[in-house]
Amino acid sequence: MLRHDVPHSPHDRQGCDLGFEKARAALAGLPGNGLNIAHEAVDRHAEGVRRDHVAIRCIAPSGAPTDLTYRQLGASTNRFANVLRHLGVGMGDKVFTLLGREPALYVTALGALKLGAVFCPLFSVFGPEPIKSRMAAGEARVLVTSRRQYERKIAPMHPSLAGLAHVLITDEDRGAPPGTEPFWSLLDAASDVCPVAATTRETPALLHFTSGTTGIPKGVIHTHDAVVAHYASAVHALDLGPDDMFWCTAHPGWITGTCYGIIAPLVMGATLLADSAEFDAERWCRLLQDHEVTVWYTSPTAIRMMMRLGDEVIRGHDYRRLRFIASVGEPLNAEAVTWGEQVFGTPLHDNWWQTETGAIMIANQAHMPPRPGSMGKPLPGIEAAVVERKPKGGIEILDTPGRRGELALRVGWPSMFQGYLNDRERYDRCFAGGWYLSGDMVTRDADGWYWFVGRADDAIKSAGHLIGPTEIERVLLAHPSVADAGVFGVPDPIIHEAVKAVVVPKLGTVADEALRRELHAHARRILGPAIAPRDIAFRDRLPKTLSGKIMRRLLRAQELGLPQGDLSSLDPNL
Partner 1 sequence: MDAKKIQSEVIAVLVAVAPEVEVETLDPARNFRDQYEFDSIDFVNLMLKLETHLGITIPQADYPKLSSLDGAVRYLMSAAADPGSAGGTSPGESST
Q: Which residues bind partner 1 (CB under 8 A)?
A: 125, 127, 278-283, 301, 305, 307-313, 463, 494-495, 517-518, 520-522, 524-525, 528-530, 534
Listed in sequence order, the residues at least 6 apart from 562 whose beta carbon sits closer than 8 Å to its beta carbon are 556
Which CB atom, from 248 or from 442, has the smaller least distance to partner 1? 248
Which CB atom, from 463 or from 504, has the smaller least distance to partner 1? 463
Which CB atom, from 115 or from 250, has the smaller least distance to partner 1? 250
Neighbouring C-alpha atoms within 13 Å toward the C-beta of 212: 16
Which CB atom, from 441 or from 511, has the smaller least distance to partner 1? 511
Cα maximum dimension of the chain: 73
* Dist. CA 467–CA 474, nearest whole Å: 13
Which CB atom, from 203 or from 301, has the smaller least distance to partner 1? 301
3-state secondary structure 306-317: HHHHCHHHHHCC
- Can you list the alpha helix ranges (DSSP code H) found in 278-347? 281-290, 300-309, 311-315, 334-344
3-state secondary structure 35-104: CCHHHHHHHHHHCCCCCCCEEEEEECCCCCEEEEEHHHHHHHHHHHHHHHHHCCCCCCCEEEEECCCCHH
309 forms beta bridges with none
CB of 116 to partner 1, least distance (A): 34
CB of 551 to partner 1, least distance (A): 28
Which CB atom, from 136 or from 281, has the smaller least distance to partner 1? 281
Q: How far is CA 147 from CA 4, 139, 152, 176, 464, in A?
A: 46, 21, 8, 7, 27
486 forms beta bridges with 502
H helices, E strands: number in the chain: 20, 28
CB of 98 to partner 1, least distance (A): 12
Q: How far is CA 331 from CA 304, 379, 564, in A?
A: 11, 18, 24
Q: How many residues belong to the chain?
A: 574
Which CB atom, from 308 or from 392, has the smaller least distance to partner 1? 308
CB of 301 to partner 1, least distance (A): 8
CB of 66 to partner 1, least distance (A): 20
8 Å CB contact between 97 and 121: yes
Which CB atom, from 453 or from 537, has the smaller least distance to partner 1? 537
Instruction: Name the pairing type of β-strands 271-275 and 245-248.
Output: parallel
* Dist. CA 47–CA 406, nearest whole Å: 46
Which CB atom, from 312 or from 425, has the smaller least distance to partner 1? 312
Backbone torsions φ then ψ of 563, nearest 5 degrees: -55, 140
CB of 300 to partner 1, least distance (A): 13
CB of 439 to partner 1, least distance (A): 24
